[in-house]
Chain A
Amino acid sequence: MAEATSTANPPKKLGRLYCKAVFTGYKRGLRNQHENTALLKIDGVGSKSETPFYYGKRCAYVYKAKRKTACPGHDKASRIRVIWGKITRSHGNSGAVRAKFRKNLPSTAMGKRIRVMLYPSQI
């Protein structure tokens, strides 16, 4: 399988290693909302029994800004910024999930993509 000539293998293309989720809103009663807890709808999760896999998983809201800021692991500054958080528990019966972020999510993130990572992994 290994070739005799030492041509370096081309760097393998990496795909998606996170689950897609949407930030649907903050935890709320009808007339009051609590921004410290976000509600997430994870793609493909339709009932409460499917959510335990995601408890504790780290999630990230990735967005772009105008100013370039330093980015860990890269020499050059980049416009990409992240707000990290984790999924804390399920929400309701239909597979929605609650998450707490280090800084509360901005309301402009509603309806936008949140990445649910596969770590900390329990399987």
Chain B
Amino acid sequence: SRYYPTEDKPRKLRSRKTAFSKHKHSLRSSITPGTVLILVAGRHKGKRVVFLKQLDSGLLLVTGPFHLNGCPLRRINQIYTIATKTKLDISGVKLPERLNDKYFNRKQLKKPRHTEGEIFDTKKEVYTVSDERKEDQVAVDKQILDVIRKNKEKKLLFGYLGSMFSLGSRQYPHKMVF
């Protein structure tokens, strides 16, 4: 007398949208490992950084190097970068295995809980750099700095990577060659 449906949950209709994990990530032909990129948005905008590799999520892994311009090992989306023609030979650089998307995921900081009597005691957790990040930064930067030092134009490159990009008067990006 009661109607019992044959399936417990109604079947989901097939969606034509692909999940992010199945997306294909392309990389602009101007961006190859070792290319110097100009960051155009974000915390480190204006900085010239070295592109290391594209991660599985499609984001680009870059490093300042940290001592030259304060940009750490970081992920960025390629739409926020301008690729320059300056390329370093990174073929010999070995990146630590653990540098992947999971490594760079944002950590959930504990928000202060409002329990009785502790309302004013709990401090807001601030992001601090983990030791493994510092280790990896030093390991990667050492190799990159060595590559720069071996380069013919090392003085130029050090200054280049340490300087910031900005537009001056009468400088129009559509007319510029990067």
Contact = CB atoms under 8 A, between A and B. Distances in A.
Contacts, number: 70
Contacts of A54: 174
B158 A45 contact: no
B70 A18 contact: no
A65 interface: no
B40 A43 contact: no
Contact of A119 (B79, B83, B168): B79
B174 A118 contact: no
B128 to A, nearest CB: 17
- Of the listed residues A43, A50, A123, the one surrounded by the most CB atoms of chain B closer than 10 A to its CB is A123
**Do most interface residues of chain A lie in helix, strand or loop, or is the interface mixed?**
loop
Interface string A1-29: 11000000100111111110000000000
Interface of B: 28, 30, 40-41, 45-46, 67, 69-70, 78-83, 158, 163-168, 170, 172-175, 178
State which size class the interface on A falls in. Answer: 20 to 34
Q: Please provide the 5 A-B residue pairs with the shortest distance between their CB atoms, ordered closest to farther.
A: A15-B166, A44-B172, A53-B174, A120-B79, A118-B40
A19 B167 contact: yes
A17 B165 contact: yes
A110 interface: no
Given A117-B40, A119-B41, A44 B170 contact: yes
